[in-house]
Structure 1
Amino acid sequence: MEAMMMTSKLNQQVDAYQGNITKQDLTRMAVNPGALGMEYSWNYPKQMSVPFCLMLNPLLKKIYKDDPKGYAEALQRHLEFFNITMYFAPFVGGVVASMEERVAKGEMAPEAINQVKAALMGPLSGIGDSLFLGTLRVIAAAVGISLAVNGNPFGPIAFLLIYNIPTFLTRVIGAHKGYELGVSFLTKAQESGLMDKVIYAAGIIGVMVIGAMTVTMTSVSIPIEFGQGESVQTIQSVLDGILPGTLALIALGLYYWALTKKVSPMVLIVITMVVGVLGAFTGALG
């Protein structure tokens, strides 16, 4: 029985790499210029779309080597909006590579790829930001600084090792696990309807993350006072008494409405800057 289980596991591992993509391809993808440069080709309208496409490009060339039109469509597909904690990008790349192989064979609709990417971005970013940026980086800095202030030259090295070893392992292992997950699970999940449930659940988590980020990352208030004597209040205090984060929620609603009307994100950024400067100058906003 044990031998049969080991054989089954071995067969699953072999099946996972039956396509054009090899383990070496996935490892190189996890540390290529696109993967390592996720924050260096960032832009406001589509954020990490360019480096993600650059990271995935060698695999797309291999998958669509005899299909120039399919290759061009895949590049266009991955130049859509994408944003994630950078260390999880290779994991998504692995999932996407396995799905692109299915698309190239006509076994999967191309639209499913962007649906899965959108479903993974929010939850993985919530986990990644908390784990790597909010926890691991702080621990690494604390250890490095404590050594450095005592004159130990190993301080900066300790910081780099503590922070980078786990993140690089996450990149490489994530790329392989993402590919294996895509091959062994996504197709069956799509056929059984489980994928729709996964996307729906991930979407709920993503909306929760967006809601939390809206309140914590939007700094705006209305300091206008009304009343007399000890009963003086500000409009902001009244709004906070009704619903904390009211202005952030209103701003989110306005931005969402504008984006549905195809207003350019750059135009929204300029409008936000103008409103902020005028509001601070007149005292209407704080």
Structure 2
Amino acid sequence: MTDKSVKIEKADLMKSFWRFILAFQFGWNYERMQSVGYCFAMLPILKKTHPDPDDFKEAFIANLNFFNTNPVVGAPLILGAHIALEEAGASIDTTEGFKVGLMGPMAGIGDTVVWALYNSIIFSIGSIMALSGNVFGPILVILLVFFPYMAVRYWQFMWAYEQGANLLSSLGSGAFAKITEFATIVGLIVVGGFAPSIVSLSTPIQFSKEIEIGGEVVTQVVEIQAQLDAIMPYLLPMLITFLAYWLLKKKNWNPIQVIYLLIAIGFIGGAVGIFA
């Protein structure tokens, strides 16, 4: 049973936090995912809250149970709240139930906000800068990933520790769902705006016709690309982007299949003169 007389100090919290930062994904495996890294981060706390050797062994083994959530938005929050529950004397069943109940929902929020939206925007900006020969493109990506990730993780960890058992009611207020929905809308708009800059596709096809104007025979040339731009600028890049999205989401193609198809379209289209 957890020792309720133990007070978790700031030094203990920082030990756990830095273990999480440096080794959370160490020991990742297909059977229990992130459990080894999570248990390693909890060890400084478990040693204080479970001084009895047999009790510590039980808590140690319990923290090696399956665990998997987003490592940026989710894992530090669960870890911080778990430490608060340990300090409050919660049973192993309570803490394990708490972890299981939160890791799924937080993975959904974290994967959407971090991987699908934030990373897509940041890496798109960096890619555009790199493609234009700007060396600060990859440097910008490194800075905008490292420092925000560290800040977000630290804030979650400390906030969740302060919330403790009240965390579930805080998360149940609907604020996180609203933030996720708003971030999704903004992120999709921004990423969609990058498509014309990243995807380059045009057609050189043109039609010519000789017509008589004022007694003179002139050749009138109609460029298909100019007509497409008049209808909607960057129409072809957007269509090829929608094709890739449709294949990934609706037809369940994997990214490698989509890449091979786009390569084939580019080679064949270029060979027959459809695409520039």
* Aligned residue type for 2:179: V
Percent identical: 17
Give 1:200 deviation, angstroms: 0.9
Q: Which residue of 1 aligns with 2:275?
A: 285
Residue 232 of structure 1: SS of its match in structure 2?
Answer: strand
Q: Can you list the C-alpha shifts for 1:156-190, whole angstroms capped at 9, x where unaligned?
A: xxxx9x99899765554443123235554974453
Query: Could you tell me whether the CA contact under 8 Å between 1:98 and 1:182 is conserved in 2?
Result: yes
Query: Could you tell me whether the CA contact under 8 Å between 1:33 and 1:55 is conserved in 2?
Result: yes
Query: Could you tell me whether the CA contact under 8 Å between 2:208 and 2:222 is conserved in 1?
Result: yes
Give 1:23 deviation, angstroms: 2.1
* Aligned residue type for 2:253: V
**1:18-37 → structure 2 map (5 Å cutoff):** 22-31=13-22
When structure 1 is superposed on structure 2, of 233-242 and 272-281 the one drifting more is 233-242
Matching of residue 210 in structure 1 with residue 177 in structure 2: no
Structure 1 residue aligned with 2:97, among 105, 110, 132? Answer: 105
Gapped regions of structure 1 (runs ≥ 5): 1-13, 36-48, 79-91, 143-159
Matching of residue 125 in structure 1 with residue 157 in structure 2: no
* Aligned residue type for 2:98: G
Flag the structure with larger Rg: 2
Partners of 2:272 and 2:106 in 1: CA distance: 48
**1:1-286 → structure 2 map (5 Å cutoff):** 22-31=13-22, 58-59=37-38, 62=41, 65-67=60-62, 70-71=65-66, 74=68, 93=72, 95-99=74-78, 104-106=96-98, 108-121=101-114, 122-125=116-119, 128=122, 170-181=148-159, 184=163, 187-228=168-209, 231-260=220-249, 261-286=251-276
Give 1:209 deviation, angstroms: 2.3
Q: Can you list the C-alpha shifts for 1:8-37, whole angstroms capped at 9, x where unaligned?
A: xxxxxx9998xxx932343344455969xx
Give 1:220 deviation, angstroms: 0.9
* Aligned residue type for 1:256: Y
Number of residue pairs aligned between Structure 1 and Structure 2: 218
Closer, same or farther: CA 174–196 of 1 in aligned 2, 3 Å: closer
Gapped regions of structure 2 (runs ≥ 5): 1-6, 43-58, 83-94, 210-217
Partners of 2:144 and 2:242 in 1: CA distance: 38
Closer, same or farther: CA 163–250 of 1 in aligned 2, 3 Å: closer
Q: Can you list the C-alpha shifts for 1:51-93, whole angstroms capped at 9, x where unaligned?
A: xx9999612655695348842x52xx66xxxxxxxxxxxxx52
* Aligned residue type for 1:120: V
Partners of 1:189 and 1:166 in 2: CA distance: 28
Give 1:104 deviation, angstroms: 3.6
Give 1:112 deviation, angstroms: 1.0
Closer, same or farther: CA 29–190 of 1 in aligned 2, 3 Å: closer
Partners of 2:178 and 2:127 in 1: CA distance: 29
Residue 219 of structure 1: SS of its match in structure 2?
Answer: coil
Q: Which residue of 2 aligns with 1:150?
A: none
Query: Could you tell me whether the CA contact under 8 Å between 2:121 and 2:187 is conserved in 1?
Result: no
Residue 266 of structure 1: SS of its match in structure 2?
Answer: helix
Closer, same or farther: CA 26–239 of 1 in aligned 2, 3 Å: farther
Partners of 2:41 and 2:187 in 1: CA distance: 32
